Amino acid sequence: MKLKALTFLLVLNCIIVFRAFAENKEFETFANNQSKLMNDAYEKRDPKTYGQLLDEFKNKYSQLSAADQKLYATYLIDGYYNYSCTYSLLGNKTQAIDYLDKAIKAGYINYSHMKEDSDLDNIRKDPAFIKLVLPLREVGDYMYIIKKAKSYNPADNRPIPTFTYQSATEPNLVILRKTFKLDSVAGNGNEVSKVINLMYWIHNLVPHDGNHDNPVVKNAMSMINECKRENRGLNCRGLATVLNECYLSMGIKSRFVTCLPKDSLHVDNDCHVINMVYINSLKKWIWIDPTFCAYVMDEKGQLLGLEEVRERLTSDKTLILNPDANWNHKASETKEYYLYYYMAKNLYKLECSVSSEYDTETRVAGKKLTYVDLLPLDYFKQKPDRTDYTNKDNQVTFVNYNTNNPALFWAAPGK
User: Average pLDDT for residues 125-130, to the nearest whole number?
Assistant: 95
Is 90 exceeded by the pLDDT of residue 267? no
pLDDT for 17: 34
Pair 145, 372: CB distance under 8 Å: no
The structural domains of the chain, with segments of one domain joined by +, span 3-140, 148-409
Distance CA 172, CA 169 (A): 8
Pair 350, 306: CB distance under 8 Å: yes
CA 320 to chain centre: 19
The pTM is what?
0.84
pLDDT digits (tens, 9 = 90+) for 341-381: 999 999 999 999 999 999 999 999 999 999 999 999 999 99
Neighbours of 224 (CB within 10 A): 22
User: Average pLDDT for residues 304-314, to the nearest whole number?
Assistant: 98
User: Average pLDDT for residues 277-284, to the nearest whole number?
Assistant: 97
Is 70 exceeded by the pLDDT of residue 2? no
pLDDT grade, residue 265 (50/70/90)? low
Is 90 exceeded by the pLDDT of residue 234? yes
pLDDT digits (tens, 9 = 90+) for 388-400: 999 999 999 999 9
pLDDT for 16: 35
Pair 146, 314: CB distance under 8 Å: yes
User: Average pLDDT for residues 231-244, to the nearest whole number?
Assistant: 97
Calculate the average pLDDT of the chain: 92
Reply yes or no on domain 3-140 having CATH 1.25.40: yes
User: Average pLDDT for residues 306-325, to the nearest whole number?
Assistant: 98
Neighbours of 28 (CB within 10 A): 15
pLDDT digits (tens, 9 = 90+) for 145-159: 999 999 999 999 999
pLDDT for 263: 81
pLDDT digits (tens, 9 = 90+) for 4-63: 433 333 333 333 333 334 457 899 999 999 999 999 999 999 999 999 999 999 999 999
Distance CA 396, CA 191 (A): 36
pLDDT for 70: 86
More confident of the two residues 22 and 259: 259
pLDDT for 13: 38
* Dihedral pair phi/psi, residue 414, rounded to 5°: -75, 165
DSSP string of 217-273, one letter each residue:
S-SHHHHHHHHHHHT--B-HHHHHHHHHHHHHHTT--EEEEEEE---TTS-----EE
pLDDT grade, residue 318 (50/70/90)? very high
Strands 164-165 and 355-356: parallel
User: Average pLDDT for residues 224-235, to the nearest whole number?
Assistant: 96
Pair 80, 99: CB distance under 8 Å: yes
